[in-house]
Structure 1
């Protein structure tokens, strides 16, 4: 049985028996094959962000296979990918990270869709002097002394706020309320949202915060929508936004909803979770891939999806694997503290633009300067490990389907 088969069987068992994945996370230990390079990821397969995990895993598996089939890195060494379920839980993510570091001996722990999960695991990874790559937004992930070991494959939370305000004002929504989940990812975007609204002639009349996993959100919905603002900016995750949207519909509130794609999209899970009349007309935004780029179009084809498919996060794990392989090849080392210093050498300009990982590895071996272009983004980074040049996809739900409205820079 392959490792991929094992994970699928594990998830099927959980679905049939209701057993926690945490109880099944420990696999029998086995020795790495000669020369294999262990890399790890913590991805969500269950919990509020579970809908994102399968595509993120598929993208990572595909690019690992591509690299290995082409001869691997560093003279023929193959990548060995270990994946653990975060369960959308900071506590579980710590346990998963510890296993990857202590048992699987990985040089990098990537994935990390959620900010609480990434923040909780970060101290362990830094203490082990390994690299952390995240697809999470909380500003705190790249704050502090990170020893140059933390890289973000996502927009920062403080960048989401202004993008949300731009969408609000583009819809001529000037008097707005904020309804937001209390978590590090969301809290960091509220002040930048308010500042951008003010800059654009708008007003935030109410900020209503709520805790995750509440039994009901009725009181919060009534407070945010009750003053009849032009629009309500809902900074939510999938499970709570499903409840909030239903509550707003039942209450007959007419304020336009602009939501984070983390709640209103979830790769289509929101639309499947509510009737069309509830989702109709909801606008949402999410950091997105460069939809018109050759790199992204090729990635969609590799994923076996129709042209025009919007993968919001799968490209990030693809890029994490690519950047890891290229940096190791450039540094001629698998030691985290060494190869991490090569990341910006292979990702940032100047250099020849290249989006094919096999060709990129060949060029690095030949000593050529490259500027690798990823599927999820251009993968240019600043000296804090934050990704540059991220754009946002603004979509609206019509008749049970997402329609792209604009790209927000």
Structure 2
């Protein structure tokens, strides 16, 4: 064999050895590097009222975990981005989190459009998606264990609202207005079915489009039939326009809505004024404010003991469950730790409501049943959350006054 050929073979061998060694060198580096989490939150857009507190919850939860030893001996690193309450923006962020930041967990995802647009991306890339979205469709079908809802699903919203109407509010005739949205339609369907099944009259029902220049025709059609109450299911911007038309028209039907419409951290009353808002009832899933996990969360947030935070506890729980499942799986890869979400959330095991204490137990090999800030963190096999409740409020003198808490 000539010398030149020997040199070529030796060079190829060295290059091959180098290329084989590179992944192991990269893996060794990765094992000591932070674990990235993609966090898509509505810092602006229709749900912009909720995003900043959700971001703060994410930061404080991750900081607490990191101060307590991290996950698998590594720090969590958050990449927080503004979803703008937009399906397209959320989808682009999901690609960025996965392809640029190499995240194996996508958390936040407040609304149905954001959750629905990112669902196929997560499944295709075998990355866990955790949402606060309510649309039933998000967890329907084969999600391969990669999609998890930290929220009451839409049909359960309809169940609680219809039960309150039948048993407490007592309206005999109702009208229904709903936004064209995969989250709203199941609520409307359950509510109308329950009203009719129990002998109540649904005088009319309509679905309207988002961002219409005016809702006058829709308001006149429903409110003009003088039902005892009109139930509105949608989002803040459309509800502001609707209620201005109701007030202008002098209609007298009672109004029932969702808190994301009629409260939105006070944004609704700011937009329409106390006189227009007076007497509106609104419903929204909420944490059990008496639960120890929620009380500890308020302390983490430096929030008053009587503060009701609707969505930030979900963000806390998403990050906590991610950390616990990774620790139990002994792997940051979603294909591994997604299988440990139910074991750490549902148990059976020792109940624990502090994520750092829970991580210590998992490291010690103790089975746990984590109790979150937003819920008990129990799940069905297809990723729906169990045990969540819903609150009811009524607006008096520009303030939302709590009425009751109920579960489906």
TM > 0.5 between the two? yes
1:221-259 deviation per Cα after TM superposition (whole angstroms, max 9, x unaligned): 111111000111100201111111111111111111110
Residues 1:376 and 2:374 are matched in the alignment: yes
1:286-297 maps to which residues of 2 (within 5 A)? 286-297=284-295
Aligned to 1:225: 223
- Which of 67, 74, 79 is equivalent to 2:76? 79
Pairwise CA distance, 1:349: 3.3
1:183-194 maps to which residues of 2 (within 5 A)? 183-194=181-192
Aligned to 2:362: 364
1:297-347 deviation per Cα after TM superposition (whole angstroms, max 9, x unaligned): 221222122111111111000000000000000110011011010011111
1:167-196 deviation per Cα after TM superposition (whole angstroms, max 9, x unaligned): 323211121011110011101211111122
1:4-403 maps to which residues of 2 (within 5 A)? 34-74=32-72, 76-169=73-166, 170-403=168-401
In the TM superposition, structure 1's runs of 4+ consecutive aligned residues that sit over 6 Å from their partners are: none
User: Does the aligned pair in 1 maintain the 2:40–2:90 contact within 8 Å?
Assistant: yes
Distance (Å, rounded) in 2 between the aligned partners of 1:236 and 1:278 = 18
Secondary structure at the counterpart of residue 203 of structure 2? strand
User: Does the aligned pair in 2 maintain the 1:210–1:220 contact within 8 Å?
Assistant: yes
In structure 2, the gaps of 5 or more residues are: 1-28
Pairwise CA distance, 1:159: 0.9
Distance (Å, rounded) in 2 between the aligned partners of 1:363 and 1:72 = 14
User: Does the aligned pair in 2 maintain the 1:182–1:211 contact within 8 Å?
Assistant: yes
Change (3 A) 1:229 1:369: same
In structure 1, the gaps of 5 or more residues are: 1-30
User: Does the aligned pair in 1 maintain the 2:188–2:233 contact within 8 Å?
Assistant: no
Pairwise CA distance, 1:199: 3.9
1:49-89 deviation per Cα after TM superposition (whole angstroms, max 9, x unaligned): 11110011111110000000111011x20000111111111
RMSD after superposition: 1.3
Secondary structure at the counterpart of residue 231 of structure 2? strand
**How many residues are paired up?**
378
1:198-222 deviation per Cα after TM superposition (whole angstroms, max 9, x unaligned): 3443222211111001111111111
User: Does the aligned pair in 2 maintain the 1:234–1:260 contact within 8 Å?
Assistant: yes
1:77-102 deviation per Cα after TM superposition (whole angstroms, max 9, x unaligned): 00001111111111111111111111
Distance (Å, rounded) in 2 between the aligned partners of 1:380 and 1:60 = 20
**Could you tell which deviates more after superposition, 109-118 or 198-207?**
198-207
User: Does the aligned pair in 2 maintain the 1:168–1:174 contact within 8 Å?
Assistant: no
User: Does the aligned pair in 2 maintain the 1:329–1:361 contact within 8 Å?
Assistant: yes
Q: TM-score when scaled to structure 2?
A: 0.90
Aligned to 2:19: none
User: Does the aligned pair in 2 maintain the 1:267–1:312 contact within 8 Å?
Assistant: no
Pairwise CA distance, 1:151: 0.4
Distance (Å, rounded) in 2 between the aligned partners of 1:295 and 1:321 = 14
Structure ID, larger Rg:
2
Distance (Å, rounded) in 2 between the aligned partners of 1:279 and 1:290 = 26
Q: TM-score when scaled to structure 1?
A: 0.90
Secondary structure at the counterpart of residue 49 of structure 1? coil
